[in-house]
Structure 1
């Protein structure tokens, strides 16, 4: 039975924070609405840059081009714009980012080529470069490899040998990845993104109802009322959790609305999230709101000021990063026992959903009740903390 004290405190905190413009801007607008829109814009920008780089003419500075006239003709036939390198060395030009890739023809190239020996060329590039720079390197390497293969095939034919003899094993590729699973690989940031939004949605209220009230010295007169402290803190905690859930649901709705605007066709991928899949995502993430609200309240309870609590709780955002980063770089086969680990289980379930797979009822139930059980333990600790007099004062 929900007590009147719980209802009053819950409604008071929710109403006051809905009136607070900072809360609306930080948790609802900036996180839930601006977050998905920001990701949409970022993906469009990255796609357009990569596509433009792939389609534009390759500009390739070449050193000693006069020693490889046939290679020069091949480069020109492939639409390559051959440039002359300036006074800088190729190494310095790459370090200064004057060019993405530079080709140098070895001095012995002509003699080796004439004798039917491997003729050496050098490609200068920055292997640590990111983004569209690597596209130019791949295009240059692909063109040169293509030229090498064609010359090798001609040499074999002139000697009466079939070029197919060079292929001792023929690989027939059977890629089992669907356009949906490829879309999931592209959207592997989504679980971490949603979890961060959930934590952000409850963060402000968790701090304000604990460290904020201690700093304003409003907790002491509140606890002087002849009501249970547990009921008061339970109402505050419930309001914190509610804001986390509201932020989560709003962000998923905005994300669903922005899916049609993602450049899926341009990237050759697909991402379909039906109503049932969205409900499953909300279902497995909602218990995490209890964990987030409770642990943020616990941390904020030990802080003496709003700013101090904001610093400590802000560091808490690093926790969801660990399983998300692991799953981005490692392929893990889902086990039922993994679904009992909060945050990891949400990451696994959401990844399965966006890949178009069925998580299974057992996995969903273990995720929901395992996370909820852990969250209720933390919530109990958070409520009990305020039975201590030392927790009521900022100094």
Structure 2
């Protein structure tokens, strides 16, 4: 067979599979809508709602029930000056915070005034439920006001006794945070590497199932194998179609993030997030060999299934593989080593995280990432080619 004929056979299979699956609503929805578009929109909406809610709580007057307010009028005035509005006391504060009737309750001891006059340490209680995430901002706000008031009064006591306020604090820890605005944003958006990998996986999953298990179930795979075309060319055409859908899914996702990224209020948190064209192009380059690897793995796993539904079950289990690097790095924070970039999935995760931090990816790191994933993709493709040589693959029963 001439090179032209070989190319024609590959293109015939590729175009056939692409055209057929462009008519499949399920494939189109999963590859171009569900993951690539809904994911970024939902993520941005959740972040905006959560952050704006926290900002509102930090800026608006905060109602706090106070028990024993009459014992500490100066403290109450300090709270009011910072926008904390004392409310009527509650009979059972512990039950109130558990039932979310109040985020935090302040209880002042009855002997507060007497201890204060004697110059002794006095105690106030902040009653809250740490399992209620929505209450954390309110608790932190009240805590800061009380602690600031305590430091000010402590300093005044020392001055009244002719002592310098620094006597009580002979050592001061000066914090020098070296994290950049982008690095802080990377910590918040550490889910993005996993999200991009999952987008590639889902983008080609239904196509991989249909082109192997689906055709096997419809008994259309055997007539296709009966053609005088080497099976590796048939596989090449199918893999190219899967990679096309996966790459398109990733491109849509990157475009969606570049559009919605500016709407995330990171500047209010002192962060900087750049998801523009430069970031998208570098992520796409890192993911290219991974697209081929996942396409080959999906085709291989789907080839073991005799029906579409069975293949869905197998690939659903395979979907847990991309989450492993994220779990590893979140539960066991480790310093990135050079060899790690050559490990498929892990290398992409580390590379994308560096891009988010604004550090960039060095040529060596990029080379290791591409080489390691390409070798793994080649091994997976060769294993799938060997599987395609089996006559059992064409049998639906």
Tell me the TM-score range normalised by the shorter chain.
over 0.9
Q: Deviations over 1:6-25 (max 9, x none)?
A: 22111111111122222221
TM-score, reference length from structure 1: 0.93
Spell out the pairing of 1:117-196 with structure 2 (5 A cutoff).
Answer: 117-130=120-133, 132-196=134-198
Structure 1 residues 62 and 274, CA gap change in structure 2 (3 angstroms) = closer
Give the superposition deviation at 1:101: 0.8
- 2:285 maps to which residue? 283
Q: Aligned equivalents of 2:71 and 2:276: distance in 1? A: 60
Over aligned residue pairs, what C-alpha RMSD do you find?
Answer: 1.9
Q: Deviations over 1:269-324 (max 9, x none)?
A: 21234544432211111110111111111221222221222122123222222212
Q: Aligned equivalents of 2:135 and 2:300: distance in 1? A: 47
Structure 1 residues 394 and 104, CA gap change in structure 2 (3 angstroms) = farther
Give the superposition deviation at 1:110: 3.0
SS in 2 for 1:160: coil
Q: 1:266 aligns with which of 265, 268, 271?
A: 268
**Does structure 2 retain, via aligned residues, the 8 Å contact 1:213–1:219?**
yes
| Runs (5+) with no aligned partner, structure 1 | none
Q: Aligned equivalents of 1:245 and 1:283: distance in 2? A: 11
Structure 1 residues 268 and 372, CA gap change in structure 2 (3 angstroms) = same
Q: 1:115 aligns with which of 94, 115, 118?
A: 118
Q: 2:248 aligns with which of 240, 246, 249?
A: 246
Q: Aligned equivalents of 1:86 and 1:173: distance in 2? A: 39
1:214 equivalent in alignment to 2:208:
no
* Bigger shift: residues 31-40 or 199-208: 31-40
Q: Aligned equivalents of 2:262 and 2:76: distance in 1? A: 45
TM-score, reference length from structure 2: 0.93
- 1:332 maps to which residue? 334
Q: Aligned equivalents of 1:278 and 1:332: distance in 2? A: 26
Spell out the pairing of 1:72-91 with structure 2 (5 A cutoff).
Answer: 72-87=76-91, 89-91=92-94
**Does structure 1 retain, via aligned residues, the 8 Å contact 2:65–2:90?**
no
Q: Aligned equivalents of 1:276 and 1:121: distance in 2? A: 53
Q: Deviations over 1:130-168 (max 9, x none)?
A: 2x3210000111111112112211111111111111221
Q: Aligned equivalents of 1:113 and 1:307: distance in 2? A: 73
Give the superposition deviation at 1:378: 0.9
- 2:34 maps to which residue? 30
Structure 1 residues 73 and 271, CA gap change in structure 2 (3 angstroms) = closer
* Bigger shift: residues 5-14 or 33-42: 33-42
**Does structure 1 retain, via aligned residues, the 8 Å contact 2:225–2:394?**
no
Spell out the pairing of 1:15-94 with structure 2 (5 A cutoff).
Answer: 15-87=19-91, 89-94=92-97
SS in 1 for 2:258: helix
SS in 2 for 1:281: helix
* Bigger shift: residues 376-385 or 175-184: 175-184
Structure 1 residues 281 and 57, CA gap change in structure 2 (3 angstroms) = same
SS in 2 for 1:118: coil
Q: Aligned equivalents of 2:85 and 2:277: distance in 1? A: 51
* Bigger shift: residues 51-60 or 66-75: 66-75
- 2:238 maps to which residue? 236
* Bigger shift: residues 73-82 or 94-103: 73-82
Give the superposition deviation at 1:330: 5.4
Give the superposition deviation at 1:346: 0.4
- 2:297 maps to which residue? 295
| Runs (5+) with no aligned partner, structure 2 | none
Q: Deviations over 1:178-216 (max 9, x none)?
A: 222222223222211111111111111011111111222
**Does structure 1 retain, via aligned residues, the 8 Å contact 2:67–2:90?**
no
**Does structure 1 retain, via aligned residues, the 8 Å contact 2:17–2:241?**
yes
Structure 1 residues 113 and 330, CA gap change in structure 2 (3 angstroms) = farther
